[in-house]
Chain A
Amino acid sequence: MSRRQIIGGMAAERARASGRCRVLTALCIVVAVTFSSRYCRGADSGAAAPAPNSARAIAPVDLSGYWVSVVTQDWRFRMAVPGKGEYAGIPINERAKATADAFDGEKEEKAGHACDAYGAGMVMRNPGRLHITWEDENALRVEADAGQQTRLLRFGQSPPGTAEASRQGRSTAKWQIHQIVAPFGPPIRMPGAKQGYLQVSTDSLLPGLLRKNGVPYGSKASMNEYWEVYTMPGGRQLLVLSSRFSDPEYLREDYMFNPIFEKEPDGSNWSPSPCSLRW
């Protein structure tokens, strides 16, 4: 074999190898693009790039936008003010029952206490809309048009002890990013695998109402919520808040409820209304 043939053969082999590499690289790019488009949905769009490692940057799900209540559960107690003594479903104790029995909604409204039914214990169950935005890189702002209330979900560690009591209390938020297992190797948290949910713990609450006919909660109440977004058949999004409300003063056990919201395309139906104990 001549030197020329040998050199020619090596060049051909190099060309073939180079061609294979190009095919492999192209394949990798296609696969990587598929992967990233698959897992990076839900990232914020339009706004300035979030700071790296901020709660906004690592958000596994996009909660921002307008959401409308889907009132299919406890309809009679949420859409209308129920009659006196209708406490079904709430694990109240004797003290709560006595307090609720003595409740006079008209009198309370006149005294300026209508917003007691719009505290953290009830605000997400009142029929209405939520507008969720990023307050800053590490806090979500949740506005409710019914009763014109605002919850601030702050990411990061809360200082120990309670904060100054307020109607919506102090909410500490934490992303729960799903651990995803690759088809090979040990369990790993894949970079860019944006799936998960929000966990919110709320305390430092002012006393308020769990139902507009007077079922109370006290200042020691607290709440834990899991905010999950599901995509319905057809592509519409649901936000479900699995909520556990604790109150050693008025409840025998945790009160569990799951408010449901559906995403709306814009804020055209946003309709702020004042607090009311009549509606």
Chain B
Amino acid sequence: MKWRKWNTAWALLAVCCGLSLPVQAQIDLTGTWAGRLHEDYQTRLTGPEFVDYAGIPLNKDGLASALSYTTATFAELDRSCAPYPAHYLLLGPWGMRISPIMDEKSGQVSAWRVSGAMDREAMTIWVDGREAPGPEALHTFAGYSVGHWQGNTLVVETTHLKDSYLTRNGVPSSSREKATFYFSRHDQDLTITAVIEDPTYLTAPYVMSRTWVIENAQPVGAPVSYCTPEEELSNISPDTVAHFLPGKNTSAAIMTEHYHLPKSATHGGQATMFPEFVQQLKADRYTPAGQCTRYCCGDSTDTEYVVQTLMCKTGP
């Protein structure tokens, strides 16, 4: 009788404790995932227009830094091979290959590896319970990523990123950035949502979400290039830091010229992220531009197709 009581009690405790332990999801992220550039096509493929920061919650320092940017920056020898940071997963055109790194003793996944691409480093997402190192630890373009499962969503926190760019038109990102990624698999689709916090340059989290599609027919990763720094522009000497001085950015008006968008929109800021900004556009007397002349119909990373679509020749 006594033993029965004890057995019941221990069983109850085991069940209770079991239920309270961290749960594990049964989602396999393994595979080759192809991007679909249906949203932010230009930003992700050809690159955003200069001085187009609409929808980005830039602070004053972020705006000033972005306005000083020139593409000649990447002609500086020490920057010519610099990749973009981890958030470029969502801001670049590339697909990715995700594979597990197994712990042979436990048989559990200890990390997920997200392949790199031409201008993006591979990411390792540790899911074995380890914590990120201290703030003085090495900062890289891939950063340091730790993940945990919330239901079927892999929540990833990436820190220890190097100073770099948020978008390819010079919006800066700092080493204080913290990126939180949510990996959610829905059958053959993988949605990754990113929340970027950067107290140096942003006043609010910058949020993005994209979906990739499993690509069974092409089980390879995105292309990776091995870059060799070399002089590209003769006017960039080793002691030059390419920049525009305040008020001298020669592309400052490009969005107004091409798309009739006022400076209140193109200079970004938290207000541009929310519906109320439509009232500002009305106050600025926005009217749609005339016939589109470039980047009119693109929606593919396929080179031949891009050439066609830039001329606005759509397929059958």
Contact = CB atoms under 8 A, between A and B. Distances in A.
Interface stretch (A47-55, A109-117, A176-184): A176-184
Interface string B206-229: 111111010000000000000000
Contacts, number: 242
B55 interface: yes
A132 B144 CA distance: 38
Contact of B24 (A181, A228, A240): A181
Given A31-B19, A84-B290, A24 B272 contact: no
Interface of B: 2, 5-6, 9-10, 12-13, 16-26, 36-42, 52, 54-56, 150-153, 155, 178, 180, 182, 184, 186, 189, 191, 193, 195, 197, 205-211, 213, 259-261, 265, 272-278, 281-282, 286, 288-292, 295-300, 312, 314-316
A71 B38 contact: no
Nearest to A38: B20
Contact of B316 (A21, A81, A94, A242): A94
- In this complex, the interface size class of chain A, counting residues with CB under 8 Å from chain B, is 35 or more
B291 A127 contact: no
10 contacts: A70-B273, A71-B274, A75-B54, A82-B259, A84-B290, A91-B300, A182-B19, A232-B195, A240-B193, A255-B38
A90 B37 CA distance: 9
B136 to A, nearest CB: 22
Contacts of B21: 182-183
Contacts of B52: 76
A92 interface: yes
Contact of B292 (A60, A83, A184, A238): A83
Given A72-B208, A97-B297, A35 B38 contact: no
Contacts of B195: 230, 232-233, 238
A146 B38 CA distance: 23
Interface of A: 17, 20-21, 24-25, 27-28, 31-32, 34-35, 38, 60, 68-76, 79-94, 96-97, 127-129, 146, 178-184, 187, 190, 193, 195-197, 199, 213, 226, 228, 230, 232-233, 238, 240, 242, 244, 252, 255-258, 260, 262, 269, 271, 279
Nearest to A21: B9
A79 B209 CA distance: 17
B292 A34 contact: no
Contacts of A252: 314-316
Nearest to A30: B16
Contacts of B272: 71, 75, 79
Interface centre among B10, B180, B278 (most CB of A within 10 A): B278
B295 A88 contact: yes
B221 to A, nearest CB: 21
Contact of B26 (A73, A82, A187): A187
Nearest to A145: B275
Given A27-B13, A182-B23, A233 B150 contact: no
B275 A83 contact: no
A256 B36 contact: yes
B184 A228 contact: yes
B25 A181 contact: yes
A73 B13 CA distance: 49
Contacts of B298: 88-89
A84 B288 contact: yes
A73 B288 contact: no
Contact of B278 (A34, A79, A199, A256): A79
A21 B316 CA distance: 74
Contacts of B260: 83
Contacts of A199: 186
A255 B39 CA distance: 9
B9 A180 contact: no
B292 A86 contact: yes
